[in-house]
Amino acid sequence: MSSFVRLPLVLALVVAALVAGLWVWLGRPVAMPSSPLAAGEKLPCVSYAPFRDGQSPFQKGLVIPEAQIDEDFAQLAKITSCVRTYSIEMGLDKAPDIARKHGLSMLLGVWLGPDVDRNRIELDTGVRLAQENRDVVKAVVVGNEVLLRGEMSATDLGTTLRWVKSQVGDVPVTYADVWEFWERNKGLTENVDFVTVHILPYWEDLPVSAAEAGPHVDEIRQRMAEAFPGKEILIGETGWPSAGRMREEALPSPSNQARVMHDVVSLAKKRGYRVNVIEAFDQPWKRRSEGTVGGHWGLIDAGTRAPKFEWGQPVEDFPGWRMHIVVGVLAVAGAFGAAWRAGRSREEGVTPAEWGAVSLVALFGGATLGAAISALPLESLGLVGWLRNGALLALALAAVVGMPAVIASGQGLAPFSVALDGRLRARSAPMAILAALLLLLGVVATGAVAFELVFDPRYKDFPVFPLTCIVAALFAPLLVRRAEREGSGLGETVAAWVLLIGGIYVPLNESLANWQAAWFGALCLVLAFTLWRVQAVRRKG
């Protein structure tokens, strides 16, 4: 076997083994504490919204079929004894009868907003349902975060609460909002039977990590008890997302969701207070207003309708890790195969250093492409989202195969003009054009994400997996060869500064505890350095 075949084969096998080992390690199940629920015990209460993929509360005329609610309640009856609803529209006026059928009690939600006529329909129907279903409706929740949204004044809300109390007799009445808004409107306690507070550590102004979430919920609940002596405090919403972007130390993941749920339920049982978990099923429609994370708060997966974890059992954060290994090995084979083919025509052959640079592209591509594919359906919303993220994935695949060919052919990076200027393109080698095109597209893709994360970051994801493939592939040629083409100019200069600023600002803005932001920032800085090296060639010419 010739050295031209032997060295890349050995390196490819080593890189493939590293990729496989990485995903075997990351795919290990994460151990959970002992179940806080005794055998046969159920959760006290769970928030329920009936919408499945393709449905949302913003669809005019939508009425959820009774059979759909019946199917959901049949499944929920296995894990909880109570459901909290938020509205009586769109078919939810049938919920009390269906709940009775499955032995469930309800915290009946009445939605309030800026539309007075809609509010009147909700209130009249909610009062009627509470009067007719006293065996099922254990409380009426009049309004949900209407003060937080600024859609009603505290005075008007108090008047509404008093009216509902006068109509429903001995059925308890409450209002639900984020705990800070209860602190600002303590007078509302005169009009409720108990105080319902929302404590969501992930969404706090100062986000709380999953490890600290349970104690944080417990601490805030105790603070509310001290602020409202003589009133029961119901935690009306608490939970943790299983997917989405980090907020400071708060990382959405399956294991973190399970860990927070274990801690919250355990502390609630220990301290003897009621807690309602948000939420029963994932709600895909929330992704439009809250990003990826908004659609992944459910204990039950929206697509498979299966529980995301079993109490007390280990949880996998990367259930697709076996697929990641397969994709990774194929990526390694593709990178080395493209390099081998491109290098066959070189008289001097591909140098060991060049094979090392190819190995770098294969390693980062193999390690992240599988995860990029898994993230595609999670992070893509609507046609625009699928096109955008699909283009990122396609570019990552092109970079993992294309840049090894560029390296093995003896070509270095080339400035944007080699791809954009027809005259320069006409006298450039195909591999130089490919290198320039991949550099241009990689900079545009990374710069667009950086722009979003600087100016509108709250609900934007960090697409670090496909970008890692791209940036590593673009950087690798610098390890063995300077860019050989003249023609760099203002485009590279502006792009380098944009990436430099984004690479510094995004991690600092998100806090250095956010490793997704730090990872993205590092990618920006590496790509800015890559562009600087392309510019450096022009200055030396």
pTM over 0.75: yes
Helices (H), 301-410: 321-343, 352-379, 382-408
**One-letter amino acid identity for 104?**
L
| Model confidence at 71: pLDDT above 90 | yes
- Return the structure tokens found at 181: 């808004």
Residue 363 pLDDT: 98
Which of 239, 263, 295 marks a domain boundary?
295
The residue whose two tokens read 């993941």 is: 253
Q: Give the residue from 274, 270, 275, 298 showing the smallest Cα distance to 36.
A: 270
* pLDDT tens readout for residues 306-355: 999 999 999 999 999 999 999 999 999 999 999 999 998 888 889 999 99
When pLDDT is averaged across residues 527-538 and rounded to a whole number, the result is: 81
| Model confidence at 2: pLDDT above 70 | no
CA gap 232, 60 in Å, rounded: 37
Domain-embedded: residue 302: no
Is residue 106 within 8 Å of residue 138, measured between CB atoms?
yes
- How high does pLDDT run on average in the chain? 94
Residue 314 pLDDT: 97
Distances (CA, A) of 422 to 6, 425, 494, 537: 40, 5, 22, 21
Please, is 227 exposed, middle or buried when counting C-beta atoms within 10 Å of its C-beta (0-12, 13-18, 19+)?
A: middle
Instruction: Quickly state the pLDDT bin for 3 (edges 50, 70, 90).
Output: low
Q: Both ends of the chain: CA-CA distance in Å?
A: 42
Query: Residue 169: which region, alpha, beta or left (left: phi > 0; alpha: psi -120 to 50)?
Result: left
Domain-embedded: residue 360: yes
3-state secondary structure 305-316: CCECCCCCCCEC
Residue 541 pLDDT: 37
Domain-embedded: residue 237: yes
> Domain containing 92 — which CATH number?
3.20.20.80
Same domain, 382 and 472: yes
When pLDDT is averaged across residues 187-214 and rounded to a whole number, the result is: 96
Q: What backbone torsions phi and psi does residue 143 show, to the nearest 5 degrees?
A: 90, 140
* Structural domains of the chain, count: 2
Which of 295, 311, 341 marks a domain boundary?
295
Q: At what angle do helices 382-408 and 321-343 cross, to 10 degrees?
A: 40
CA gap 442, 113 in Å, rounded: 45
* pLDDT tens readout for residues 134-184: 999 999 999 999 999 999 999 999 999 999 999 999 999 999 999 999 999
Domain-embedded: residue 36: no
Instruction: Quickly state the pLDDT bin for 489 (edges 50, 70, 90).
Output: confident
| Model confidence at 537: pLDDT above 50 | no
Same domain, 237 and 185: yes
Same domain, 532 and 419: yes
Same domain, 331 and 250: no
Domain-embedded: residue 453: yes
CA gap 513, 247 in Å, rounded: 9
Instruction: Quickly state the pLDDT bin for 423 (edges 50, 70, 90).
Output: confident
- Return the structure tokens found at 75: 């499944």
- Sequence-distant (≥ 6) Cβ neighbours of residue 111 within 8 angstroms: 86, 87, 88, 89, 118, 119, 122, 143, 144
Same domain, 460 and 536: yes
Is residue 235 within 8 Å of residue 275, measured between CB atoms?
yes
Tell me the pairing of strands 45-47 and 173-178. unpaired
Same domain, 445 and 512: yes
Q: Give the residue from 14, 21, 26 showing the smallest Cα distance to 358.
A: 14
Domain-embedded: residue 479: yes
**One-letter amino acid identity for 275?**
V
Domain-embedded: residue 461: yes
- Return the structure tokens found at 57: 């509360």
Residue 490 pLDDT: 85
Same domain, 328 and 291: no
When pLDDT is averaged across residues 253-258 and rounded to a whole number, the result is: 98
Same domain, 253 and 127: yes
Which of 244, 260, 295 marks a domain boundary?
295
Same domain, 326 and 250: no
**One-letter amino acid identity for 52?**
R
Same domain, 134 and 95: yes
Same domain, 192 and 257: yes
| Model confidence at 4: pLDDT above 80 | no
Residue 381 pLDDT: 87
Separate counts of helices (H) and strands (E) for the chain: 18, 8
* pLDDT tens readout for residues 265-319: 999 999 999 999 999 999 999 999 999 999 999 999 999 999 999 999 999 999 9
* pLDDT tens readout for residues 95-105: 999 999 999 99
Which domain covers residue 89, as residue numbers? Answer: 41-295
Same domain, 372 and 458: yes
Distances (CA, A) of 393 to 73, 291, 297, 402, 437: 39, 19, 26, 14, 16
Q: Give the residue from 154, 84, 164 showing the smallest Cα distance to 120.
A: 164
| Model confidence at 207: pLDDT above 50 | yes
CA gap 405, 397 in Å, rounded: 13
Domain-embedded: residue 29: no
The fraction of the chain above a pLDDT of 90, given in percent, is: 88
